[in-house]
Structure 1
Amino acid sequence: MPFSFKNFSTTLLLSTALCSPVLAQELAQEVVAEYFDELRASGMTVSPGQETVSGSTVEWRDIMIGLPEDEGSYTLEFMRAEELGGGKVSLSYPPEVKISIDPKGEKPKADVVVRTEGITHIVSGEKSARNHDITASRIAVETSTFEPPFSMEMAANDVVVNQVSTGADTPHYEGSLKAANLELRYDLDDGKTKMSSTGSYDDLSATFDMDAVNEASLDELFAGSRNLSVSYQMGKMTGSTDITAPQSAMVIDTKASSADGSFSVKDGIFDLGGTAQDVAYNVQLKDIPLPPFSAQIKEATTQVKLPLKKVDAPLPARIQMGFDGLELSDTVWGMFDPTGSLPREAARLNIDLSAQIKWLVEALSAAEAKSVPVEVDSVKINDVTLSIAGAALNGSGEAKLNNATFPPMPVGEVNMDLRGGVGLLDKLVALGMVPQQQGQMIKMMSGMFTVPGGNGTDHLVSKIEMNADGSILANGQRVK
């Protein structure tokens, strides 16, 4: 089911709007005016409804809010503010709010329901810096569509939010969030594939520092005039996904002991990273009479850095992904190595690449570009490491690209080091996983690009040089 950035940003905007400030009497009217102005600046329409004052309490009823581009609406039955003294105001609003989203075109209509339990919202501070202290026993957001049938619910329990709102022309939000537990559930049925998934995440905490961003201001975010950053940590995670598809049916259970990560777009640079500890997968095939098989990973890491802004000089980009301590259950090993001839030590993979790149068009319009939208100035293999079944491969290298030619001509070198590779290949041939003729061909080809290393008999090294004249050398011998 297509769930566009527009749907995501609308849901985020609604979640923010439903926790916006209202203060009692004169101060209440001032801040509500700021709130309504902020919604209008984001492209929403606001009909404030009826306002009444009773002692230290101010109430607004039947507030009608329209989403940007007339793609939906919702009504707040009431918003109520009670002055507590000392410049503090307690806010209250309906425990359930229903929103209808109609993105038009090919995207499906959606219904969103926001539910809160045991919520308190205290606002304090001056006009230039509003403080929001929110606690709730539960906050849940449920989304559903009908074509195809899809539903998703995300609920946080024992929530504590501390936020400071500043800025006039560009609202800015900074603060922290904690939740004892986050629950996630979704169900999808597109007529061919049925999928149900549940997840639970304990001890969630996050910090955020961001300018207000919506679809209309994405160009400012990409250009670097607006910034945002979020970091998070969480404890134990568990999940289960049940899939029934035309070619397979399975249940996948997952768990991890902890995870942390961050996401930011600062000065036009996208940066995403995360680490998960003690990740485990257990797979049960429902339509095949096989016992469950499992895999465990001690640590998994991901890092992506990508410039988004269009500038004259190339900017750094990077992608890193890998895992350490991968172990497979005996059920998995038994499928292709029933005799136990392969070493079964934990495997490791690390891929770490970087580059200098330059956008030739605005990144937001890259999909419509008639030619290559981005130019790569140089690339570097910081590290490629694979250790599995008794073999270990390591690689590094870098190259400068000549973009005057097409495809661009690289100038540089790549170095590779392989230990235990021949022995692993022989075992794979003996197991029938690699045909003997192909195994011999691989050995012959490796002889063209590798030379013996200095660490034992099963050690191969290779140095590939790419020159400006287009020639390629392998260990000093020309191959092109």
Structure 2
Amino acid sequence: MKRYATASALAIVAMAGQAWADVTPQQVWEDFEAYMSNFGYQITATETMEGSSLVISDMTMVVTIPEEDGLVRVTMPPMTFAEAGEGSVSITYPEVGEVMVYFVEDDDEVVGEIVLEMTHTDLEMLVSGNPGDLTYTYSGERVALELTRVFDHEDQEEYGRDVISATMSMGPLSGTSHIMKDEVMRSIDQDMTMGDLAIDVSFDEPDGDDAFMFSMALAGLSSTGTTRLPLDLDVEDPTSMFKNGGMVDAVLKHNGGKTEFSLNEGDGPTTGMFSSSGGEFGVAVSETDLSYRLSAADQTVAMSGPELPLPINAALGEAGFSLAMPLSPSEEPRPASLSLTLGGFTMDDVLWNIFDPGEVLPRDPATVAFSLDAMVTPFISLLDTDSMEKLGMTGGMPGELNSLTLNSLVVDAVGAMVKGSGAFTFDNSDLQTFGGVPRPEGKLDVSIAGANGLVDSLISMGLLPEEDAMGFRMMMSMFTVPGEDPDTATSTIEINAEGHVLANGQRIQ
């Protein structure tokens, strides 16, 4: 059953998370069918007119899983498309309904099924506009899904809520979606507030000691984004949605969250808790470019268990990661970037005392951060799976690095600090000077503070032998010059046009 889980989840999310409509109930339904068919779903349903409203019942969505020689079949609660005045249409679900998910093998044999109860409070969806240019407005106090039944047809065994349980709820909800469609593309601009999200999952083995619990809560969840999907989307090729102008640009934010888990495999529970005061996730993908960013604030982690020698308690004041790179081939260099921030890291004294029981090292919050910009020339499309496979077989390179700029580097921990910045260009026609690596040209500026003090502390702790410390200090004297303040040093590492490596003006290679 696990192999079908992703496809069934996509079907449910597609139903519950998106509104479709047009100027009449029938057009709304037809647009919904076309939208889902775009993603490879086969839809059957009973259509009944009740006055001016269209009621859709016995609706079934089927998606095939070619790699698994099977399919997932989902039946949904009834939907009502009703005229709401002034050319608008409302879409309603029953306050309580069932979502049935069947996992079917290629011989049309049902091997498993799950039943979800879908509930909502004051959920409203209203659509207005003109064909091909529609605005969806939705609101609701709460939307929830609860797992009520799991049945394994192969073993003829049913698992009740005392064995496995799962719930998901969110709300209050509000937002709008602006959907436009032409002959080749569907565009969706969305701005949505989802309120508080809660997910709870638990499993308790009936005839054993294995147990699992997972709980997650996010406050103030919201999302904005723009999506453009080709109407001739090839569902068997996920990269096809980014061709011919297709793209996704979305941002998801929350104002704080907490995750807890517990795992027991018979030798006692392993527990963990993670929290933060806020976070953001953003991704933008097109045929030509990719960007990805992730950030969080005031993160904490606490873990304990029989396989851990002692409890782990740590905190991180700021965390961030970002990546941007070109995806399509180019004859000219194109920009790329990478950055990482791990700021204000602290850990419990119990962990410190493992290697520093005498409290010799400063225990101030530590920070590691860097920011890189580059110019690169891609040779092939990174979305072209065939070309990427050929490169993997031949050992070829997908592109070349033309320049690299270190905007900033900061390593601040245990009483020492290293800062750096610099820039290099690369001659890809010269692979001899540096043993197969394109010849760089540029310089790197580094400043160091507290290095000797750290070495003295490590010696007093018995972690660094005197002879090793002497070798480190000799190397420091070769590559650095003393700074203006005590226990500081600076260094400029330069590579010139002839391929010579210089440290503070002295040639070392």
Match of 1:208 in 2: 225
Q: After superposition, what is the alpha-carbon deviation per residue over 1:119-166, rounded to whole angstroms, capped at 9, x for unaligned? A: 3322222212222223341233879999xx999765323222321221
User: How large is the Cα RMSD of the aligned pairs?
Assistant: 3.8
| Counterparts of 2:112 and 2:328, CA distance in 1 | 33
Larger deviation, residues 117-126 vs 380-389: 117-126
Structure 2 counterparts to residues 308-347 of structure 1, below 5 A: 308-347=327-366
Q: After superposition, what is the alpha-carbon deviation per residue over 1:62-82, rounded to whole angstroms, capped at 9, x for unaligned? A: 233222566423233533222
1:453 aligns with 2:483: yes
Gaps of 5+ in 1: none
Q: After superposition, what is the alpha-carbon deviation per residue over 1:165-199, rounded to whole angstroms, capped at 9, x for unaligned? A: 2113311111222122112345799x9x9865322
Give TM-score, length-normalised by structure 2: 0.80
Counterpart residue identity of residue 430, structure 1: S
Counterpart residue identity of residue 98, structure 1: M
Displacement after TM superposition at 1:51 (Å): 1.7
Larger deviation, residues 171-180 vs 438-447: 438-447
1:438 aligns to what SS in structure 2? helix
Given the alignment, which residue of 215, 218, 228 partners 2:248? 228
Displacement after TM superposition at 1:33 (Å): 1.8
Gaps of 5+ in 2: 153-162
| Counterparts of 1:361 and 1:96, CA distance in 2 | 47
| Counterparts of 2:285 and 2:146, CA distance in 1 | 26
Displacement after TM superposition at 1:203 (Å): 1.2
Counterpart residue identity of residue 36, structure 1: E
Match of 2:160 in 1: none
Displacement after TM superposition at 1:289 (Å): 6.7
Match of 1:378 in 2: 403
Match of 2:303 in 1: 283
Q: After superposition, what is the alpha-carbon deviation per residue over 1:353-408, rounded to whole angstroms, capped at 9, x for unaligned? A: 12112222220223542311232111111111011121110011111122222332
1:342 aligns to what SS in structure 2? coil
Displacement after TM superposition at 1:283 (Å): 2.8
1:126 aligns with 2:151: no
Match of 2:143 in 1: 138
| Counterparts of 1:328 and 1:445, CA distance in 2 | 32
| Counterparts of 1:96 and 1:357, CA distance in 2 | 52
1:84 aligns with 2:84: yes
Given the alignment, which residue of 398, 408, 411 partners 2:423? 398
Counterpart residue identity of residue 226, structure 1: G
Counterpart residue identity of residue 131, structure 2: K
Q: Is the 8 A contact 2:98 2:115 kept in 1?
A: no
| Counterparts of 1:436 and 1:245, CA distance in 2 | 47
Match of 1:363 in 2: 382
Match of 1:199 in 2: 216
Given the alignment, which residue of 191, 209, 213 partners 1:176? 191
Counterpart residue identity of residue 206, structure 1: S
| Counterparts of 1:473 and 1:390, CA distance in 2 | 29
Given the alignment, which residue of 24, 27, 31 partners 1:27? 24
Q: After superposition, what is the alpha-carbon deviation per residue over 1:85-120, rounded to whole angstroms, capped at 9, x for unaligned? A: 22233323463323346799xxx9996957342233
Displacement after TM superposition at 1:417 (Å): 0.9
2:262 aligns to what SS in structure 1? strand
Q: Is the 8 A contact 1:252 1:283 kept in 2?
A: yes
| Counterparts of 2:342 and 2:282, CA distance in 1 | 18
Q: Is the 8 A contact 1:42 1:68 kept in 2?
A: no
Counterpart residue identity of residue 418, structure 1: I
Q: Is the 8 A contact 2:81 2:89 kept in 1?
A: yes
Counterpart residue identity of residue 426, structure 1: D
1:464 aligns with 2:489: no
Q: 1:80 to 1:305 in 2, by over 3 A?
A: same
Q: Is the 8 A contact 2:19 2:125 kept in 1?
A: no
Q: 1:100 to 1:268 in 2, by over 3 A?
A: farther
1:426 aligns to what SS in structure 2? helix
Match of 1:64 in 2: 60
Counterpart residue identity of residue 183, structure 1: A
| Counterparts of 2:265 and 2:397, CA distance in 1 | 37
Match of 1:16 in 2: 14
Displacement after TM superposition at 1:326 (Å): 2.2
State the identity %. Answer: 22
Q: 1:204 to 1:77 in 2, by over 3 A?
A: closer
1:363 aligns to what SS in structure 2? coil
Displacement after TM superposition at 1:451 (Å): 2.3
Counterpart residue identity of residue 424, structure 1: L
Larger deviation, residues 339-348 vs 114-123: 114-123
Larger deviation, residues 306-315 vs 199-208: 306-315
Displacement after TM superposition at 1:419 (Å): 0.6
Q: 1:451 to 1:185 in 2, by over 3 A?
A: farther
Counterpart residue identity of residue 175, structure 1: Q
Counterpart residue identity of residue 129, structure 2: G
Q: Is the 8 A contact 1:414 1:464 kept in 2?
A: yes
Displacement after TM superposition at 1:418 (Å): 0.7
| Counterparts of 2:356 and 2:105, CA distance in 1 | 52
| Counterparts of 1:120 and 1:239, CA distance in 2 | 30
Q: 1:77 to 1:289 in 2, by over 3 A?
A: closer
Match of 1:475 in 2: 504
| Counterparts of 1:248 and 1:454, CA distance in 2 | 57
| Counterparts of 2:498 and 2:262, CA distance in 1 | 55
Q: Is the 8 A contact 1:80 1:91 kept in 2?
A: yes
Given the alignment, which residue of 107, 118, 126 partners 1:115? 118
2:172 aligns to what SS in structure 1? strand
| Counterparts of 2:414 and 2:459, CA distance in 1 | 14
Counterpart residue identity of residue 427, structure 1: S
Displacement after TM superposition at 1:44 (Å): 2.6
| Counterparts of 1:413 and 1:361, CA distance in 2 | 30
Match of 1:162 in 2: 176
Q: Is the 8 A contact 2:61 2:73 kept in 1?
A: yes
